[in-house]
A and B are shown apart, each in its own frame.
Chain A
Amino acid sequence: MTAPNAPVTTPTTPSSEAESPDTRAKRGLATADLITIGVFSALYFVMVCIATLVSTLFTGGFGSIFLPAIAALISGPVFMLLDARLRKFGGITVMGLVIGLFLFVSGHFALSFVASIVFPLAADLIARAGAYRNKVLLLVSYVVFSYGLTGPILPLWFMKDAYVASLEARGKDAAYIDGVFANINMGTFVLAMVAILVCALIGGWFGQRLMRKHFVKAGIA
């Protein structure tokens, strides 16, 4: 472009946008906030990967059924520290959204994306109601946030239908399979949802305990 010593030619910045550098503090998410969100999202993504691994180990083919619960159990500290570092609206939403995006790109069901937006957004609103400081609201927020990972479970409910369809296509009777899966479907659904609730409460409480014990004391949160 220009020689090193040529006069200043900064790319055109409309003067209306040329704000003074110190005003960035309160308005929305600044670049530094987005970077913080990214770093914590990466950690959360690791937790999700671990949860996938563990869940697959325990439940075999029904891989992701307990994914959200296990993720909820171990991600509490990540969630709580992100809130404490940021204390701004948007952090939780963006984290959920970005994780949903990565799950989608790595081949998870597209509808999971909806859950990855709705639940984190609700969680963000709840946490904001407590100014990101109220312990109880943060815990509730974490529980709601944890449901954001239910997306990857959804295909399990398509599975039976698909098999029934394939049986019918071959002119077979699907009575047996209907019988077996009627129980499994409803039962596992309730179990998975309750597991998320319980695990999120434990995980969130653990996260808040670590916050008090370590991060507040170390002056980081």
Chain B
Amino acid sequence: MGLDPRAKLYLLLLANLMLFFHVGLVTQIVMVVLFLTPLAAAGRLRMAARFAVLYAALTALGMLDPDAMGVPQLHVVAALAVGVSMMLPCFMTGAYAFTTTSASAFVCAMRRMRVPETVVIPCVVIIRFFPTILPDYRRIREAMALRGIASGAFAWIRHPAQSLEYVVVPLLMNATTVAQDLSVAALTKGLGRKGAHTSRTAIRMRAADWVMMSAATAPLVLDIAGVI
């Protein structure tokens, strides 16, 4: 039972606002717990646990007192830790949105939010085409190995431009074919039709969505208002 994609986007936005407003440590911890809850509830327990451990470790590192330890250089490490731990909430909500939303729900949410087809269609195509690129790349590397040209990892360092050319040219040639074939298939299935396009996935803002959204909003508002 997951949240509505729009609620997920809202969480993502909150995480960004946190970054922007420099919330205090307490607020940050509360928000992280709130962000990890739906991730765990969606069955991504291991991912949630990893994020929690990482966040805890970085926060601890940021709490170091380099001056007291007499190693001022450690400030750089501590600063980095604080910086990354600040960005973690964005990655948490991002990972949640990315791994628990089906393509269909994502597209449906975009259309509900009145995102124009000019953006929706390329997004669908990216989701469709992106996973095919790695297998294609492997085929190309194999073909290069059979020809004895620029194979092996070192080739990338010794002849970077040449290697890039060997890989990119077939990839792009393939891309133009795929673009044409996809267009033909999509046109016969009415993708270009004017008027509303619906979805097989019903998305609806439920009580859980509203609860989650307000629960996550509260600490941020309180922090910004200076209460926490």
Interface residues on A, range: 35 or more
The residue on A at minimum CB distance from B124 is A38
Is B53 on the interface with A (CB-CB < 8 A)? no
Residues 119 to 167 of chain B near chain A (Cβ within 8 Å): 119, 121-126, 128-130, 133, 161, 164-165
Determine whether B32 belongs to the interface, using a CB cutoff of 8 Å to chain A.
no
Of the candidate stretches A93-101, A134-142, A189-197, the one touching chain B is A93-101
Q: Which of A46, A162, A170, A176 contacts B75 (CB 8 A)?
A: A176
User: Chain B contacts of A40 at CB under 8 A?
Assistant: 175, 179
Nearest residue in B to A214 (C-beta to C-beta)?
Answer: B169
Assuming the contacts A98-B126, A107-B91, A206-B161, asked whether A42 and B133 have C-beta atoms less than 8 A apart, the reply is: yes
Residues of A within 8 A of B175 (CB): 39-40, 43, 81
Given known A29-B118, A105-B12, A109-B16, contact A159–B125 (CB-CB < 8 A): no
Say yes or no: B79 contacts A159, CB within 8 Å.
yes
Residues of A contacting B178 with CB < 8 Å? Answer: 39
Q: Is B80 an interface residue (CB 8 A)?
A: yes
Residues A101 and B19 in contact in the complex (CB < 8 Å), given A81-B172, A107-B90, A108-B94: no
Task: Select A161's contact among B15, B22, B90, beta carbons within 8 Å.
Answer: B22
Question: Contact between A31 and B187 (Cβ–Cβ < 8 Å)?
Answer: yes
Instruction: Answer yes or no: A74 CB below 8 A from chain B CBs.
Output: yes
Neighbouring B residues of A15 by C-beta, 8 Å: none
For B119, give its contact among A31, A94, A162 (CB under 8 Å).
A94
C-alpha gap A42/B121 in the complex (Å): 12
Which of B38-46, B188-196, B212-220 is found at the contact surface with chain A? B188-196
Which residue of chain B has the shortest Cβ distance to A221 in the bound complex?
B176
Pick from B67, B79, B125, B195: contact of A42, CB under 8 Å: B125
B25 at the A interface (CB under 8 A): yes
B171 within 8 Å of A (CB atoms): yes
Is there a chain B Cβ closer than 8 Å to A125's Cβ? no
Contacts of B65 in A (CB 8 A): 170, 172
Given known A45-B126, A108-B94, A165-B22, contact A35–B79 (CB-CB < 8 A): no
8 Å CB interface, B61-104 against A = 62-63, 65, 67, 72, 75-76, 78-80, 82-84, 86-87, 90-95, 97-98
Check A39/B179 contact, CB under 8 A, given A61-B83, A77-B168, A106-B94.
Answer: yes
Q: Are A77 and B172 in contact (CB under 8 A)?
A: yes
B228 interface hit (Cβ, 8 Å): no
| Complex-state Cα separation, A61 to B85, whole angstroms | 11
Interface string of A130-166 (1 = CB under 8 A from B): 0000000000000000000000000110111111011
**Chain A residue contacts of B128, Cβ below 8 A:** 38
Contact of A109 among B19, B22, B123 (CB under 8 A): B19
What are 28 A-to-B residue pairs whose CB atoms are below 8 Å? Answer: A11-B195, A13-B194, A31-B186, A31-B191, A35-B186, A38-B126, A39-B125, A39-B175, A39-B179, A74-B164, A85-B179, A95-B122, A98-B126, A102-B123, A104-B12, A105-B97, A107-B12, A107-B94, A107-B97, A107-B98, A108-B94, A160-B83, A161-B22, A162-B22, A163-B79, A163-B83, A166-B62, A218-B173
